[in-house]
Amino acid sequence: MSTRAARTLIATVATSALALGSLVGCSSNGTTQAGSHPAQQNPLAALVADVTGSLRKAADSTDKVTSVGFTMTTTTSGVKASGSGAIAFQPLAMEVDLTTSATGATTIRVVNDTFYVKVPAAQRATLHGKTWLKMSPGKNSPFNSVNRQVQDINPVQQVKTLLASGKAVAVGQETIDGVPTVHYKVTTSVDTALSQVDPKDRNLVKGVYEHAGVTQITTEIWIDAQYRPHRAHVVTGSLSDTTIDYHNYNEPVKVDVPPASQTQDLDALLPGLGQ
């Protein structure tokens, strides 16, 4: 493989991973105690009156989510992307059609711990005509944290971000895709955000934030009367601005593993990429 072809291929995969990473955000470990829930006839009024208690109910509700559909738009490090897909959490299966301003349209699939990227037709000669690039865990690759990131698409993570801060406020009542919701918002420091990241990934995330000059992160979420999120919006300083809309909770999700005859292992194709 020529150096130029390798660079183009790496750019395609890295851009897809970058967009996926911005979609899912950081993992949350934070907890807080729920307040009392005032008795109100209007459930949205109750969500406004008791922010902490309502967010706790939302966390409890989304903890029971087995799958969810989503659409997203994001700008990360100047790269714009949009996509739609669905994810099941146990066992892990996800497919998302993604379009980026840098590399055009592609499809990403995640099955258990393995990440697949559909390579644009113009670049398939680099793969000897094969269609999919495969990245597996445990290999010397910059994409080893994809499995953890994909798990974080679960909307409970965004709810827990608001809970962990202890400073979330109810902005007001808004209708999202025809559904009445309450809009919550909080701005946290980088230190607070890092405290919610898995310790094994904390230094990596910290380095990304420092390189991008991120000093604070703003998280917004829109929750309906059944305590389910319908939208999340996360602004990570000047690094990324991402909006995710959630739909089709707990519906079946089927993701096929690409045929082996059409798949190229990235680690075998570009040995030493991780270095």
Could you report the per-residue pLDDT of 209-226, keeping only the tens digit for each? 888 899 998 989 999 999
The two three-digit tokens of residue 117, written as one number: 């990227």
Please give the residue that has the higher pLDDT: either 268 or 169: 169
Residue 201 lies in a domain: yes
Using the structure block, give the residue that is written with the tokens 């829109």: 222
Tell me: pLDDT of 165 over 70.
yes
Per-residue pLDDT at 271: 60
Residue 253 lies in a domain: no
Residue 102 lies in a domain: yes
Q: Please give the backbone phi and psi of residue 115, each rounded to the nearest 5 degrees, phi first.
A: -115, 130
Could you report the per-residue pLDDT of 40-84, keeping only the tens digit for each? 467 789 889 899 999 999 888 877 888 999 999 988 888 888 999
- Looking at the whole model, is its pTM more than 0.85? no
CB 225 within 8 A of CB 44: yes
Count of the separate structural domains present in the chain: 1
> Edge-to-edge strand order for the sheet containing 114-118?
169-176, 179-189, 216-224, 229-236, 240-247, 67-76, 79-89, 92-100, 104-111, 114-118, 132-135, 263-265
CATH (domain of 157):
2.50.20.20
Please give the residue that has the higher pLDDT: either 163 or 73: 73
Residue 257 lies in a domain: no
Residue 254 lies in a domain: no
Residue 237 lies in a domain: yes
Confidence of residue 162 (pLDDT cuts 50, 70, 90): confident
Could you report the per-residue pLDDT of 82-138, keeping only the tens digit for each? 999 999 988 888 999 988 887 788 899 988 878 898 988 877 877 778 899 888 765
Please give the residue that has the higher pLDDT: either 144 or 44: 44
